[in-house]
Amino acid sequence: MYEAFFRLTGKPFQLNPDPDFFYGSRGHRRAMAYLEYGLHQGEGFIVITGEVGAGKTTLVRNLLRRVPSESVQAAQIVSTQVGADDLLRLVAGSFQIDVAGLDKSALLQRLEAHFRAMHRTGRRALLVVDEAQNLSPRAVEELRMLSNFQEGTRSLVQSFLVGQPEFRAILQRPEMRQLKQRIIASYHLGPLDSAETRAYVEHRLRHVGWRGDPDFSADSLAQVHAVAEGVPRRINTLCDRVLLAAFLAERHDIDRDLIEDVAAELADELGGPAGGAVLAVVPTGAPDEPVGSTGGDREAGAAEPAGAASAAARIALLEARLARLEASSATTYTVLQRVLRVLRASTGALGMHRPADGEGRRRQGEPGDAGNPPVRAVR
């Protein structure tokens, strides 16, 4: 919507993990080096963990582009909470092996035959499992079994496991001992630091033809880093909304106040600390634990209150949700009002639109005007 206003060729802060936008921060470069090292070794497991939005899937997509297809057939699965057999079927599907109707042992045989046939043509298999924290211990065990397929001393299948930080805790369990012995490298992808956040924002902007417009002040970028805590997905969400707000206010400069305003607006809408709700890391039990279990790494206090207290708590929760919903629709209304005004102004300026009597004039008490940020600078 705002791309034309800033003369950009596309949206700079999309949320899809598009490898075209890949920015090699120190952490991302290191993680990539680990993956490439693993690829070079040709066997064993590589584990990459990181918070939601840290850039794991982007990293994997970037890697998959670089895999030499003449020697490696790479396939990726995204693990939802699948059981062990389903996992094998997913793996087969990702390598385009037809296993419909086969029972488990026939399925394993088919997989093995496929990997051996690949080996004869000089290729090996690389399996990338994203969202690995969702794997049940039995599913992990199946992956380990796949790594047992060998030709001479060489493994036919290699796996990269990519997941949220709790995957590390899962790997510490006694039943993971055998898998752990086969991990040749693991790396935790942390957030961007302040300088990297700035470089990241500029990198994404440059990718869509940026020439200094929008103009982020240095302290606005420091504020983006503080609010988003250096997590790329949160940076994207925040910056996308900041550009929308700047467009609606017809300004090209981005200052710290604007970042703060937008962060507060996002927090209001989503009900959480600024930018935090965008990336609420919900504490989850381990995949095979029942929901509500107090074991594992669940945060204290997460358990539901009982009886009447529980009903009251639920009502309070619903009320809070309702309030957030109301605040959110009010914001949407405000945004739409502003869009309408900007569109009217621009079509009016082009002589394309002749408002009827009274149309386009600001009405007293129009809700959309209430939170309109002042226009600070217009180029």
Task: Say whether residue 15 binds ligand ADP (CB under 6 A).
Answer: yes
Length of the chain, please? 379
Among 6, 12, 17, 286, binds ligand ADP (CB under 6 A): 17
| Cβ closest to Mg ion, residue 52 vs residue 145 | 52
Distance of CA 351 to CAs 61, 145, 231, 347, Å?
A: 47, 71, 44, 6
The interface mask with ligand ADP, positions 220-259, x = CB under 6 A, is ------------xx--x-----------------------
Cβ-proximal residues to 248 (8 Å cutoff; 6+ apart), any chain: 335, 338, 339, 342
| Cβ closest to Mg ion, residue 12 vs residue 55 | 55
**Which amino acid appears at position 115 of this protein?**
F
Question: Are β-strands 183-189 and 45-50 bridged in parallel, bridged antiparallel, or unpaired?
Answer: parallel
The pair of three-digit structure tokens given for residue 17, joined into one six-digit string: 């993990």
Task: Say whether residue 57 binds Mg ion (CB under 5 A).
Answer: yes
**Which amino acid appears at position 7 of this protein?**
R
The least CB distance from residue 150 to ligand ADP, in Å, is 31
Task: Say whether residue 164 binds Mg ion (CB under 5 A).
Answer: no
Q: Which option in Mg ion, ligand ADP, none does residue 191 bind, with CB closer than 5 to 8 A by kind? A: none
Stretch that binds ligand ADP, among 46-54, 76-84, 246-254, 347-355 (CB under 6 A): 46-54
- Pair 27, 190: CB distance under 8 Å: yes
| Cβ closest to ligand ADP, residue 144 vs residue 188 | 188
| Cβ closest to ligand ADP, residue 54 vs residue 126 | 54
Cβ-proximal residues to 206 (8 Å cutoff; 6+ apart), any chain: none
Element (H, E) at 201: helix 194-206
Where on the chain is the footprint of Mg ion (CB under 5 A)? 56-57
